[in-house]
Each structure stands twice: as structure tokens, then as C-alpha cells.
Amino acid sequence: VNGTITIPVVVHVIYNAPAENVSAAQVQSQIDVLNDDFRRLNGDASSTPAIFQGVASDVEIEFCLAATDPNGNPTDGITRTFTSTTSFPTNDNMKFSATGGTDAWPASAYLNIWVCNISGNILGYAQFPGGPAATDGVVIDYQYFGTIGTATPPFDLGRTGTHEVGHYLNLRHVWGDGGCGVDDLVADTPLAGAPNYTGAPCSFPGPNTCDEGAGDQPDMFQNYMDYSDDGCMNLFTEGQKARMRALFEPGGPRASLLN
């Protein structure tokens, strides 16, 4: 498909403690980051090292809070649900009203984002394309969502949302979740053998965990699909763009979002 794709988003805020009931402004701050990062309008695009600027990509995907709910009624694109659950393990209970959460809106028409208190030190998690509709979407911990309110350094720049939506759009971690023999199925990200947890000052070059031979490059810890701190991340690549946009071709697993 050509041109800009716009994905309607519903954010399901699931809260027990009042602080978990994040504001509409905080929700919008996350949408704004998604739009900046997927259009390469991020203010830190100039921090991408020169050797990677040539593959840095405007993915041409945008996000808007849904204006119409599944019944055809006007909505601000945010649902709010009080729960007696004080924290959710990564078992998808937040995705069903029967287990203390909120049911997904039809995944064929909306990107569902659940915001809640996730147990442990998990920033967020996502479902890849092709999975069950009832659990399709991404989950983000309320402390790592958007850029204001409860957003907590060093994960307070909304990049957990960018990373999880990357998974929702079929991107793997840049290290392929394995050693140097395992690729992320994207040609223009250098091989990496392990995640990088790079923090400020994001010094370049950082680790070079794999030798690609001729044209060897250091790890692209600046990629949104690594594990660096939010302030060290600043790009998707052209190869990642192609992988994401392929989902929207006729018959593809995300094509129905275009209707």
C-alpha cells in the first residue's frame, strides 16, 4: 500500500489505585509520541548516528484516538475501568471484563492498548499479528506510558509504546532474541547477539556484539526494538518499515484496519 496509514486506537485504562487512572492528557502524550516516532518527527532524530541516518525511516503510519465506538457512538477513544486487581501478571487478565479488565474492541478495526499496573518490572508486552482477536493489541504499565503524569524515568518518553506497537506490527527485537546466528528478519539492522540496556549519555559507538564481516557495524542500540533507555532510542529502519507495512497489503493480517 502507498501513502500514510492511520490506525484508530482505543486506550483501556484499568485502575485500582487512583494514580493508575491516568489522565486523558497522558493518553494523548503517548499518541503524540507514536506519531512522532513512526513519522520520524521525533525531536531526537538528529541523535541517530551518521552511519545509521541513511536507513532511518519515516514509517508513514499514524495513530488517532478512535472517534467512534464499536456501536457507532461518539467516543474519546478512552475506556476507564475500576478493578479490584492490584497488579496484573502477563496473563492477559486485563483484556477481559470477566477477569478484572476490559474486553477488546474488535481488533479488525482498532489497535487496543491496555494501560494498567503490570506485576514485576515489566514495562509492557504485545501480541504479534495473527493471534487471537480477543487478546490482540499491546499492554503498557501505567508508569511507562506517555510522557507526563505517572511516566517515570528513564522510561518516560513514551518509547515503551513505540516498542510494543513495533511488535504489534510484526517487528522482532533487533538481536532476534538469540545470539549472532539469530536474525531479526530485517536486513538493515546490524546483527546483535544480546539486548543492549544503554542509558545516558547513549555514547556511540556502544557494544559491537557480532562481527558481520565486511561492513561490520556496531550494535544499533538506538533502535526502538532494542532495550535501551527511552532517551537513547531514536529510529526505525527502512527494512523495519517494509516489514510493518507488508501487513496492510490486501489479505494481510492488519489490512482490515484500513477500512
Chain residues that interact with Ca ion, rule: CB under 5 A: 190, 208, 210, 216
Phi, psi of 169 (to 5 degrees): -100, 25
Q: Does the protein bind ligand ARG through residue 172 (CB under 6 A)?
A: no
> Which does residue 190 bind out of ligand ARG, Ca ion, none, counting CB within 5 to 8 angstroms by kind?
Ca ion
Q: Which is nearer to ligand ARG, 21 or 198 (CB)?
A: 198
Q: How far apart are CA 222 and CA 215, in angstroms?
A: 19
Q: Which of 164, 212, 238, 249 is catalytic?
A: 164
Can the peptide bond before residue 49 be classed as cis, meaning omega within 30 degrees of 0? no
Q: Does the protein bind ligand ARG through residue 204 (CB under 6 A)?
A: no
Q: Does the protein bind ligand ARG through residue 229 (CB under 6 A)?
A: yes
Binding residue for ligand ARG (CB under 6 A) from 136, 164, 184, 219? 164
Alpha helices by DSSP H, listed for 39-158, are 50-53
Residue 212 annotated among the catalytic residues of the structure: no
What is the sign of the dihedral through the CA atoms of 237, 239, 242 and 247? negative
The answer to whether 180 and 212 have CB atoms below 8 angstroms apart is no
Q: How many residues does the chain have?
A: 259
Q: Which is nearer to ligand ARG, 70 or 154 (CB)?
A: 154
Q: Catalytic residue positions?
A: 164
- Residues at the interface with ligand ARG (CB under 6 A): 123-125, 155, 159-160, 163-164, 227-230, 233
